[in-house]
């Protein structure tokens, strides 16, 4: 259901979009590219042990007005409200993240949110919130078809095993296909995401509390920050990597490369300094 709390004019200004507003595939593609390039993936609030709110008013205030980023539940919930306000028909799903998991049969929790948008051309997977591998274009629900996006190529593979019938999303990096996540087509609701989001923000073993993660695609490349390690992944040449050695350098990178307007918080500067200090302490001597 569309939310009356979403200021479309402010959102479009935030992502730099001036195109059509009709609920068409052309509009969906344009918004799906503009959104992640403008609104970075980041977990600053969980990292600072702050709550993440998923109501439309909070998302509008944080991601649009305050020019912050957010993680999947924030990004895709905001995107769903925008699409529905424009007249798109959207269904929300939940995925089990497989990124970085090479073993077969691994069962991970349903900790990721994605969207399905129904158009006259068919159904499309939309997802503006998967960190360093965030889609920059929607994917048609056509199995085993390699689909180019403005960045990488993706595909959907049907699967039927002990976890049920569903799909696996793969991304092609170089000459290798890597699994991103698996999901089924059971509709999810904000109450489902509230529970998962609360877990990720509070459980001691949650990687969102222990690891600082920021990502943003840009034309021809992707920026990715993990703690104090910055990577720039180019589409046409090898990646660049750099270690950030001070809180000031971290702040400048967050504001510059990632376009984040950092919160005015007394907790932020000490947290950034701890990242640098911890990284330096782990370096081998000599």
The two structure tokens encoding residue 1: 């259901």
Each residue's pLDDT tens digit, 22-77: 999 999 999 999 999 999 999 999 999 999 999 999 999 999 999 999 999 999 99
For domain 208-281, the CATH architecture is: 2-Layer Sandwich (3.30)
* pLDDT averaged over every residue in the chain: 93
Rounded (10°) angle between helices 72-86 and 190-202? 160
Q: Which pLDDT does position 118 carry in this prediction?
A: 98
Domain chopping of the chain, boundaries: 208-281
Strand order in 240-243's β-sheet? Answer: 41-42, 213-218, 221-226, 229-234, 240-243
In contact, 27 and 19? CB cutoff 8 Å: yes
Does 165 score more than 90 pLDDT?
A: no
Average pLDDT value for residue range 146-152: 97
Active site residues: 72, 112, 127
Does 212 score more than 70 pLDDT?
A: yes
Q: Which pLDDT does position 244 carry in this prediction?
A: 95
């Amino acid at each position: 259901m569309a939310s009356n709390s979403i200021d479309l004019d402010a959102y479009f200004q935030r992502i730099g979009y001036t195109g059509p507003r009709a609920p068409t595939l052309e509009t969906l593609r344009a918004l799906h590219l503009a959104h992640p390039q403008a609104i970075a993936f980041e977990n600053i609030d969980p990292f600072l042990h702050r709550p993440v709110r998923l109501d439309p008013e909070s998302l509008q205030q944080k991601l649009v007005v305050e020019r912050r980023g957010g993680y999947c539940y924030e990004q895709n919930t905001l995107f769903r409200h925008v699409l529905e306000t424009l007249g798109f028909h959207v269904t929300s799903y939940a995925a089990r993240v497989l990124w970085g998991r090479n073993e077969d049969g691994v069962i991970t929790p349903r900790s990721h949110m994605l969207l399905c948008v129904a158009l006259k051309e068919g159904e499309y997977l939309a997802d503006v919130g998967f960190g360093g591998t965030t889609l920059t274009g929607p994917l048609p629900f056509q199995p085993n078809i390699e689909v180019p996006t403005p960045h990488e190529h993706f595909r959907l593979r049907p699967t039927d095993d002990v976890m049920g019938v569903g799909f696996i999303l793969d991304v092609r990096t170089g000459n290798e296909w890597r699994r991103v996540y698996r999901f089924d087509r059971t509709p999810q609701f904000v109450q489902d995401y509230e529970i998962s989001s609360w877990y990720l923000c509070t459980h001691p073993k949650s990687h969102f509390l222990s690891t600082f993660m920021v990502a943003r695609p840009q034309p021809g490349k992707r920026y990715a920050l993990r703690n104090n390690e910055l990577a720039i992944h180019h589409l046409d040449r090898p990646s660049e990597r750099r270690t950030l050695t001070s809180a000031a350098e971290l702040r400048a990178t967050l504001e510059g490369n990632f376009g984040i307007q950092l919160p005015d918080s007394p907790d932020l500067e000490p947290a950034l300094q701890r990242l640098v200090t911890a990284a330096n302490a782990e370096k081998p001597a000599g």
